[in-house]
Amino acid sequence: MSWIASYREAPEVAASDAVIDLAPWPSHVLPSGRVIFKVTERPESKRMMTRKVVPEVLVYATGYKHSFPFLDASYPRSGDCDVRDLIKADQPDVAFVGFVRPGVGAIPPIAELQAQWWTMLLLKQMELPKEASHYHLLQAPDARITHGVDHGAYCSQLARDMGSAPDLWELYRVHGLRIVLIYCFGATFTPFFRLLGPWRSGNAPYIARTELYDTIRRRGLGGNIAMGLIPMLFWGYITLLAHVASTLWHHVISPALTFVGHPIKLSFDL
């Protein structure tokens, strides 16, 4: 597959003596400190069978569970959150910031938006959202992780709730075409949600023109066509079809069916 794609280390990394080895999951540690690995069919297993690994530091990355022993029974828990996976509707003064897990992305940017969202709710600068959520990752009923979210969809939902998601025309009017293009081709960066709206920052346009633009420039023409233009055209087409179908249903088909005595309820969630 090297003729299709390959991975190259940066020069400073390639010249380093540092080495990171892959290995199977350890089965046990001998009294001498040597780590014994499980035998598998993968290449790293065969390589580790010939090596004596005695680490100086061993980190047990065994995962964790959400536990709040310092809260009495009157408080909700993170699993009780029914509004944006952040608060329980009848106890909005208790929030669990940073407890959703993005499939691709990072928790700190999400936590920033969650903190903004909760602050506005406490200050009564926004209403408690009523619409359903559509940002959860698909998972098996017996999955270990049940709080996975799509990073972009979740952040965008919080921004829409707060009025921070920029309108393209308003974005063009205030910041110009370059910022609009950077916003359209960029990922879900939190500074985008500070270009306009209640958390508007004077630094956000500068960050967009420099740091965020650099992430787009590094993709190159092919990368921006594949990761930017094509998805926009595809999802724009799907959204347009859904909008047309919803408009026809609500303004033409449904009234006609109701008129002839056959009321039918159907909603389109765009």
Q: What is the mean pLDDT of residues 203-217?
A: 94
Q: Is 46 left (phi over 0), alpha (psi -120 to 50) or beta?
A: alpha
- Looking at the fold, whether 104 and 178 belong to one and the same domain comes out as yes
Res 43: pLDDT:
83
Res 268: pLDDT:
53
Q: Is 84 left (phi over 0), alpha (psi -120 to 50) or beta?
A: left
User: Among residues 250, 244, 251, 255, which one has the least CA distance to residue 267?
Assistant: 250
For tokens 């926009």, name the residue.
232
Structure tokens at 239: 């959204």
CA dist., res. 185 & res. 181, Å (int): 6
- Looking at the fold, whether 50 and 101 belong to one and the same domain comes out as no
Q: What is the mean pLDDT of residues 141-164?
A: 89
- Looking at the fold, whether 177 and 211 belong to one and the same domain comes out as yes
* Tens digits of residue pLDDT in 29-52: 999 999 999 998 888 888 888 889
| Contact criterion met (CB below 8 Å) for 126 and 199 | no
Say how many domains are in the chain: 2
Helix spans in the chain (H): 11-14, 43-48, 107-122, 151-162, 168-175, 177-185, 204-207, 213-217, 220-224, 230-248, 254-259
Chain centroid, CA 233 distance in Å = 21
> For residue 13, is pLDDT > 70?
no
Res 164: pLDDT:
95
CA dist., res. 59 & res. 46, Å (int): 23
254 assigned to some structural domain: no
Mean per-residue pLDDT of the chain: 87
Res 3: pLDDT:
61
- Looking at the fold, whether 39 and 87 belong to one and the same domain comes out as no
226 assigned to some structural domain: no
190 vs 113, 117, 133, 198, 206, CA distance in Å?
A: 7, 13, 20, 13, 13
- Looking at the fold, whether 179 and 109 belong to one and the same domain comes out as yes
> For residue 16, is pLDDT > 70?
no
Neighbours of 154 (CB within 10 A): 26
Q: Mind giving me the DSSP string for 234-247?
A: HHHHHHHHHHHHHH
Res 147: pLDDT:
83
- Looking at the fold, whether 36 and 102 belong to one and the same domain comes out as no
* Tens digits of residue pLDDT in 165-178: 999 999 999 999 99
Domain C-terminal end among 217, 236, 253: 217
209 three-state secondary structure: helix
Give residue 42's domain range: 1-62
Model confidence at 4, pLDDT cuts 50, 70, 90, reads low
Res 11: pLDDT:
65
* Tens digits of residue pLDDT in 167-209: 999 999 999 999 999 999 998 999 999 999 999 999 999 999 9
- Looking at the fold, whether 211 and 99 belong to one and the same domain comes out as yes
* Tens digits of residue pLDDT in 138-151: 888 777 777 889 99
Q: Which run of H or of E encompasses 26? A: strand 26-29
> For residue 12, is pLDDT > 80?
no
* Tens digits of residue pLDDT in 66-78: 888 898 989 999 8
169 assigned to some structural domain: yes
238 assigned to some structural domain: no
Res 5: pLDDT:
59
pLDDT above 70 covers a percentage of the chain that reads 89
